[in-house]
Amino acid sequence: MDYTLNIQGRLLNLAAPRVMGILNATPDSFYDQSRSQTEEQVMRRARQIVDEGGDIIDIGACSTRPDSTPATQAEETERLRMALGVVRRELPDAVVSVDTFRPNVARMAVEEYGADIINDVGGGEDDMLRTVAQLGVPYVLMASEPTLRDTLLFLADRVQRLRELGQKDIILDPGFGFGKTVEQNFELLSQLERLLVMELPVLVGVSRKSMIYKTLGCTPAEALNGTTALHAVSLMKGASILRVHDVKEAAECIALTERMKTIDRKI
């Protein structure tokens, strides 16, 4: 999709898909190898994301894994301030996304640390929509509805609300792993290209999730191969952003699928 995001006055072109690398400033994310709790760990992970070809660093400080107890707003804020401070100091030009469902946390991240994107897993509540529109940063809108029909209806409603508020850059996330069974996740993935009717970029976050490891009978730590397989499917169906734990492998997957698309256009 020929779409650009306005990142603090710089344009991030999504004509070729981009990699969003996950940086979890939490002690309890479902994939334990993704956790970065100290300044040294945050710095190492942020540099790894960039060095391996990541275009966006997505920092989260409140786990949304199944059956978890969410961090309090104070805990999330404290963790984010530490992580954002490190990333902004060490990689001042990096494109930084903040993964939060709390409007006040989103505002803090943008106003105090210049966060470039808000990645909302909270379902587009009115307070968050108003906050993001006021902040004027690109916004990832996630759906937790179980079917494609319901997902499209939900996204269309929230996009209309955002447009009325003056929001410009919107990224759609169908919410794999949120409010869906394994079968519903695969049904949605099989029809992912139908989200393109909204003419907005689509973010896919399937990295090491239960739809993969439950299907394969493995653990999240063993789910890289399955993740890469579903990334290839997502890219062929039009995904513009892959949100991933394993940046190098995702970047390679993008390079190969883009090569395939180039050949297809020549034939």
DSSP-derived pairing of the beta strands 95-99 and 56-60: parallel
Q: Report the C-alpha gap between 51 and 48 in whole angstroms.
A: 5
**Residue tagged 């105090």 (tokens):** 112
Specify the amino acid at residue 83. A
Contacts of the segment 188-193: beta carbons below 8 A, 24+ positions apart: 188/147, 188/148, 188/151, 189/230, 189/233, 189/234, 189/237, 191/148, 192/233, 192/234, 192/237, 192/238, 192/239, 193/237, 193/238
Q: Which of 44, 163, 209, 214 is catalytic?
A: 209
Q: Report the C-alpha gap between 126 and 140 in whole angstroms.
A: 14
Residue 243 a catalytic site member: yes
Q: How many CB atoms lie within 10 A of CB 262?
A: 9
User: Based on the number of CB atoms within 10 Å of its own CB, is 90 exposed (0-12), middle (13-18) or buried (19 or more)?
Assistant: middle
Residue 161 a catalytic site member: no
Tokens of 179: 């409010």
Q: Which of 45, 65, 243, 259 is catalytic?
A: 243
DSSP-derived pairing of the beta strands 203-204 and 241-244: parallel
Catalogue the active-site residues.
209, 243
